């Protein structure tokens, strides 16, 4: 039986921390489907088409990884895709409560789907899409935190990011 995991998230945008989790996950699973939740209620920096495109480009070099988007309950999507597990990354302790709550809810909704947490690499313990967007907005250097395709998109959104360090205000 093929071991398939869904790695769900907002991926607004995908970061090197996410890629680290995929790389670790590939040691445990035959296939990983990285799936973006279509969530019209939440405000995102990048529209779903852009997020999916960046995700696909970033995952291009990984074997057995697919990028997709889904609607509705995660466990239903997992069942549709024949996945036995949901993969999530854990960084600092602050992630724990939300992740625990989500995993328990998903278990209530479908007992067949297991949640697997992988600890992110030390380098990525304090990185998140939100903090990267915050830094990039004001011209902060985030080059080593995101895949090249994401850096290019962030530079389009935030011109301050393309300015040489000395020329930045503040």
Would you say 40 or 164 has its CB closer to ligand PNS?
A: 40
Phi, psi at residue 125, to the nearest 5°?
-55, -40
| Residue 73 binds to ligand PNS (criterion: CB under 6 A) | yes
129 is catalytic: yes
User: Is 18 a known active-site residue?
Assistant: yes
Shortest Cβ distance from residue 3 to ligand PNS (Å)?
20
3-state helix, strand, coil in the chain (%, to 5): 45, 20, 35
Q: Determine the 3-state secondary structure of 169 from DSSP.
A: coil
Q: Is 125 in the site for ligand PNS (CB under 6 A)?
A: no
Q: Which of 27, 42, 111, 165 is catalytic?
A: 42
Please state, in angstroms and as integers, the Cα–Cα distance from residue 17 to each residue in 11, 12, 54, 58, 101, following that order: 11, 13, 14, 12, 22
The answer to whether 83 contacts ligand PNS (rule: CB under 6 A) is: no
Residues 15-44 that bind ligand PNS (CB under 6 A): 37
Residues in contact with ligand PNS, counted by CB under 6 A, come to a total of: 9
Q: How far apart are CA 160 and CA 154, in angstroms?
A: 10
The only residue of 106, 115, 120, 127 in contact with ligand PNS, by rule CB under 6 A: 106
Please say if 42 is a catalytic residue.
yes
Q: Annotated catalytic sites, by residue?
A: 18, 42, 91, 129
> Which positions lie near ligand PNS, rule CB under 6 A?
8-10, 37, 73-74, 102, 105-106
């Amino acid at each position: 039986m093929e071991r398939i995991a869904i790695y769900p998230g907002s991926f607004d945008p995908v970061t090197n921390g996410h890629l680290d989790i995929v790389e670790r996950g590939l040691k445990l699973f035959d296939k990983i489907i990285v799936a973006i939740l279509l969530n019209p209620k939440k405000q995102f920096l990048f529209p779903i088409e852009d997020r999916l495109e960046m995700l696909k480009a970033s995952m291009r070099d990984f074997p057995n990884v697919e990028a997709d988007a889904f609607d509705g309950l995660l466990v239903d999507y997992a069942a549709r895709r024949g996945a036995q597990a949901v993969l999530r990354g854990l960084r600092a302790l602050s992630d724990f409560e939300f992740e625990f709550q989500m995993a328990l809810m998903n278990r209530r909704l479908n007992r067949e789907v297991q949640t697997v947490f992988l600890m992110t690499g030390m380098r990525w313990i304090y990185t998140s899409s939100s903090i990267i967007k915050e830094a990039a907005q004001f011209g902060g250097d985030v080059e080593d935190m995101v895949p090249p395709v994401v850096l290019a998109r962030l530079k389009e959104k935030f011109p301050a990011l393309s300015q040489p360090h000395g020329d930045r205000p503040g």
